[in-house]
Amino acid sequence: MPVDRRLFLSSLASSAAISVLAPVSSVQAADWSSTEAAARKERNLTINMLGGKDAEQFVARISAKFPWMNVRFSGLVPSKLAPQVLAEQRNGVYAWDVHVGPTANMVRVLGPAGALEPIPPILEGLPPLEPDKWAGGLLQFTDNERKNSLVTYYRFGGGIFVNRRRMPTAKISNPRDLLNPELKGRIVIYDPTALNGASMTLAVAYKQYGEEFIRKLLLEQQPVITNNPRDTGEWVSQGRYPVAFYMLEDDIRQLGDLGLLKDVEVLEGSRYVLTYGVSVFKNAPNPNVIKVFLNWFLSQEGQDAYASIPSLGGSRRSDVKVYAPGDIAEPTKLESYGYIGGVATGQESVNKVIEIAKLRS
């Protein structure tokens, strides 16, 4: 809704104002040398990222930059990561350092549960970070109260995927057509009872067509629900199900490279804008390694190393090339987009989708 977007944009403006009024402080050279020395003793960095082999490529770039650093990589989907982290922390286990990627579960689940650290105090312990190089200023957060996730860029995500060999445009040209009785039981959706790419794709449809449309789609059309996000891409590409809600970006790339998506297209207007950023977990075991990583990751070199893997990312830094312009949302034009996921405001639509989805059981 427009009001939500204005509130969200207002919060971004406030963040930008913070970066102007209180620039990221720099530490003395001797202090930073001490941080680096302590980081070498800690040695490990446990990082969670989406992206499969592409994420592993970025991890290799971290290791190449810091040969002494032992990077422990996990590729858990955030909706699976969040409950695992909460269970571990309840039992006094603090095993994670940073998450790089979609922020939806950070702002909705982990942040409110107190499972993340505020970012500003960490940044204050770093050398200068060139806040003027970032669109809107460096200090933009998904939640201006907790400031747990620093926004690095905005990306188009999700979508409704249609196998045109099974369902030509004459039968499905827009999401309204999904209520056709012919599609009953022939739509696959990744678990819409959790905050993920499928429920956020449904949130786009909710904002476009309203609550009644979502109720009919989820409750009357009897879609097949899967708990494995890789099923949707595999099944729609095979034609097992002609329509799928959400595909992992890594699957889109891999299946596309294999020529298995030649018959699959995304319905126009079905994608959302998702916020991506970096978050630090509470009581992280390697605080000094985190500082060394963030100092590089937020630099031009680090952001380019990340953004140049197109299926992974982009950057709000003005001195980093846009490698995948069709996938990256313009941070100065957020008001023109519909649903924006991964931020604290404007989440009524996805909340309602999840509520309706839970009625299935």
Report the CATH number at residue 184.
3.40.190.10
Q: What is the pLDDT of residue 17?
A: 34
Q: In this structure, is residue 340 part of a structural domain?
A: no
Give this prediction's pTM: 0.79
Q: Would you say residue 228 lies in a domain?
A: yes
Evaluate whether 328 touches 319 at the Cβ level (below 8 Å).
Answer: no
Same domain, 259 and 281: no
CB atoms within 10 A of CB 259: 8
DSSP characters over 253-302: HHHHHTTTTTTEEEPTT--EEEEEEEEEBTT-S-HHHHHHHHHHHTSHHH
Residue 256 tokens, joined: 């596309």
Do 185 and 257 fall within a single domain? yes
Q: Is residue 339 part of a domain?
A: no
Question: Are residues 249 and 288 both part of a single domain?
Answer: no
- What are the tens digits of pLDDT across the range 138-172? 999 999 999 999 999 999 989 999 999 999 999 99
Q: Quick one: 231 and 319 in the same domain?
A: no
| Burial annotation 55-93 (CB, 10 A radius, 16+ → b, else e) | beebbebbeeebeebebebebebbbebbeebeeebeeee
* Domain span including residue 18: 2-154+273-329
**Any residues with CB less than 8 A from the CB of 153 and at least 6 apart, and which?**
276, 307, 313, 314, 315, 316, 328, 329, 331
Number of independent structural domains in the chain = 2
Q: What is the mean pLDDT of residues 37-57?
A: 94
**Of the listed ranges 80-84, 159-163, 183-187, 340-344, the one predicted with least confidence:** 340-344
What whole-number distance in Å separates Cα of residue 56 and Cα of residue 234? 22
**Do β-strands 340-341 and 243-245 pair in parallel, antiparallel, or remain unpaired?**
unpaired
Residues of 184-215 as b/e, b for ≥16 C-beta within 10 angstroms?
eebbbbbbbbbbbbbbbbbbbbbbbbeeebbe
Same domain? For 147 and 248 the reply is: no
Same domain, 218 and 204: yes
